[in-house]
Structure 1
Amino acid sequence: MSTATTVNAMAPPLIELRGVTRTYGQGATVLQALKGVDLRIEAGDFVAIMGPSGSGKSTAMNTLGCLDTPTTGEYLFQGVHVETLGRDQRAQLRRHYLGFVFQGFHLLPRTSAQENVELPLLYRGESASARRKAASRALEQVGLQGREHHTPAELSGGQQQRVAIARAIVTEPTVLLADEPTGNLDTQRSAEIMELLQDLNVQHGITVLMVTHEPDMAAYAKRIVRFVDGVIESDVQNPHPVRRHAASQEAVH
């Protein structure tokens, strides 16, 4: 075995959950949302997280996004024990390493696409010039060059989600967490958003974690993790992720 192979084999995962539980309430009202979850996510992975309502998938996503903390167990991000961090430290981790996309686009309605995308950089104290350049670059990445000055009302649902994705990647995050990102979109727009997430993963190396209840959307991921009753029921590689462009080209030819 080569030295490089040995080093790679010994490298820790980007994210690791070890025996994570999450309990809400006390006594008769207690709810155990997670019941000892073990999960490893490597850098560059694209993971679809699935499961019925109440299965624990959203709690797991909130934990991975540092929006919630385990009751017991360990959460390691690049080897750092996140469960031991204070609120401000977790906020710093979110600000510098994580990007978020939600089912609802959460755009400021009277604010241009450019200004919406600049917001995370404003919170980080970046200069106006740096914010403009980074936001323009992010909007170009998601195919919205020329729409910088449009407000959400002047954009389609798919375009609004692209603005939300641009806002999530403008800080150049290590991980993009997407919670039902196609839930408010029709079939064609959903496929376009999935194609974009796939491109960010494959071409730009962003690790993508996506909660979805739609098998058609999960089919774009490299790996599918299914939660049931607070535990991981299955964790399987997807050997043939959907490639819509390839399929379209085959149909044409």
Structure 2
Amino acid sequence: MTDTTPMIRLRGVTKRYGEGATAFLALKGVDLDIQRGEFVAIMGPSGSGKSTAMNTLGCLDRPTGGEYLFMGAHVESLSRDERARIRRRYFGFVFQGFNLLARTSAQENVELPLLYRGEPAGRRHAAAAKALESVGLKGWEHHTPAELSGGQQQRVAIARAIVTEPAVLLADEPTGNLDTRRSHEIMELLSRLNSEEGITVLMVTHESEMAAYAHRIVRFVDGQVASDVLNSEPTQPGSFTPAGSMEAG
């Protein structure tokens, strides 16, 4: 595969839910290329197809029609188990609701994907500690979610997503449950993971201020790509200044 070959390529992708008169076409012939190492924000109003597109890109769902090539493999023709193997090997997922186990420490939450892989305890512990340090939570390994702020919980969720060293990080409204300051902290973290670790980041968001961190902004309307534009001046980590002079606790 050459450097100019997209890591992800959608061609004429459709997704239909239901049959007959009740059928709903959520995606209507989507074409989209994503290169390795990009940071792409996916936007659009409710019902526009952006979340369906994200589920398709993450191999969580299979398109009804069209082609989805991931690193040259035709995902649309793969079985459920084959798609699951691609997800486990290449993708990390971050969601709006954090999805952490409540009575489990940050360290143990981050180790979960490695536990499912059957990794030995020593390797799990080391990898989780490294991932937590990379998101700025060194020293918080033994705290439960109830002992962490919302921003810290999302950092744990991101650490869990990157502990397997994925090629692609899919973030679905990762700042939706956070205040402005914590939202920018999470966006700066995603930006650094993209620029410093080379992780391809695909993020669904409805907030233009968060999308401004991305290199490209793709807008969906009525199940189709309405626009796909480069962001010539993405927001840089460290540029956010909180309103007022008081620091949050």
Query: What is the TM-score when the length of structure 1 is the normalising length?
Result: 0.93
Residue of structure 2 equivalent to 1:98 = 91
Secondary structure, in 3 states, of the residue corresponding to 2:238? helix
Residue of structure 2 equivalent to 1:70 = 63
**Structure 1 runs of 4+ with >4 Å offset:** none
- 5+ residue gaps, structure 2: 242-249
Secondary structure, in 3 states, of the residue corresponding to 1:35? strand
Residue of structure 2 equivalent to 1:214 = 207
Partner Cα separation in structure 2 for residue 153 and residue 142 of structure 1: 18
Which residue, 102, 123, 126 being the options, matches 1:109?
Answer: 102
Matched, 1:27 2:20: yes
Secondary structure, in 3 states, of the residue corresponding to 1:245? coil
Give the C-alpha shift of residue 168 in structure 1: 0.0
Identity of aligned residues (%): 74
Query: What is the TM-score when the length of structure 2 is the normalising length?
Result: 0.95
- 5+ residue gaps, structure 1: 1-6, 249-253
Partner Cα separation in structure 1 for residue 123 and residue 237 of structure 2: 35
Residue of structure 2 equivalent to 1:13 = 6
Alignment of 1:123-138 (within 5 A): 123-138=116-131
What CA deviation, in whole Å up to 9, does each residue of 1:63-92 have, x standing for no partner? Answer: 001111110001000000011111111111
Residue of structure 1 equivalent to 2:78 = 85
Matched, 1:192 2:185: yes
Residue of structure 2 equivalent to 1:57 = 50
Partner Cα separation in structure 1 for residue 240 and residue 193 of structure 2: 19
Secondary structure, in 3 states, of the residue corresponding to 2:197? coil
Give the C-alpha shift of residue 244 in structure 1: 4.1
Residue of structure 2 equivalent to 1:172 = 165
What CA deviation, in whole Å up to 9, does each residue of 1:65-121 have, x standing for no partner? Answer: 111111000100000001111111111100010000000000000000000000000
Give the C-alpha shift of residue 243 in structure 1: 1.3
| Conserved? CA contact 2:145–2:153, under 8 Å | yes
Q: 1:79–1:115: structure 2 CA closer, same or farther, 3 Å change rule?
A: same
Larger helix proportion of the pair: 1
Partner Cα separation in structure 2 for residue 57 and residue 129 of structure 1: 39
Matched, 1:228 2:221: yes
Q: Which amino acid aligns with 2:15?
A: R
What CA deviation, in whole Å up to 9, does each residue of 1:142-189 have, x standing for no partner? Answer: 000000000000000000000000000000000000000000000000
